[in-house]
Amino acid sequence: MKLALYQGPAIGGDIELGFARIEMNLAAAAQAGASMAVFPELYLPGYNQPDLHQGLAQPLGGAWTKRLSDLASQYACGLTIGWAERLDETIYNSATCFDDTGKQCAHYRKIQLFGPMERAGFTAGDAYSVFEIFGQRAALLICYDVEFPQHCDALAREGVSLILVPTANPKGFEHVSRVLVPARAAEMRLTIVYANYCGQEDGLAYGGNSLIVGPDAMPLATAGVTETLLIADLSHIEQITAEILSQQNRDYRKVGISHDA
């Protein structure tokens, strides 16, 4: 199976520009043989756009998700993307996954809101979304969520082997891509797709460095700091021997604490 990841600039509220980029990159991913393409966090309408989150947020099943579903079906390529969701007066930082027929496979609301802007504008989610796709048990997380080993551990214990992560990681936090995401993949024997922005958006500079990483912590595809479409072939993961994968969950010994005088 091949997976694709789009790293690009934020659209700054230009929804039609966003859909044009989604279509162009989804078509390219499909042409390259990818089964799924992953886009960044809050791609619709943009991440650093708190006023637009309130003004443009759409309901699940509304115009945005209908168009996204149609694109996945048209190009016979799955699509995972972050967007601002409205449920009555509540706004969520959400991500939705569609399969290659356009069927909605999963919908997820970010659990770990990061920073004053997110905490002021969004309500936190309270549940994981675990689903089957292309023969794998998969889940969605969003940005800050994946930095918590507790969340990755909980998903691994549910049999998840693939986590799709739309993100909006700023410049200066490149250690998340270089250290934390590979560590989460290795610790929990996961494949993680981490799709970030590049460029700037209303004064916020993004760090790029998107990646697709396997359960041996080895990157399958990595981006720099410019716009790109990554494609990674996951077929070799089945050939990784168990001996080199993490055994910590099996071998962990819980002990007490000695309070010496």
Annotated active-site residue in 85, 110, 147, 152: 110
Q: Write the Ramachandran bin of 166: left for phi over 0, alpha for psi from -120 to 50, otherwise beta.
A: beta
Annotated active-site residue in 77, 143, 152, 198: 143
Is 2 a known active-site residue?
no
Distance CA 27, CA 110 (A): 28
Distance CA 152, CA 149 (A): 5
Distance CA 49, CA 203 (A): 11
Phi, psi of 212 (to 5 degrees): -120, 120
Phi, psi of 131 (to 5 degrees): -155, 165
Is 110 a known active-site residue?
yes
Q: Cα dist. 235→45, 126, 191, 212, 242 in Å?
A: 34, 33, 12, 13, 16
Annotated active-site residue in 41, 85, 147, 201: 41
Is 198 a known active-site residue?
no
**Is 185 within 8 Å of 165 (Cβ atoms)?**
no
Q: Known catalytic residues? A: 41, 110, 143
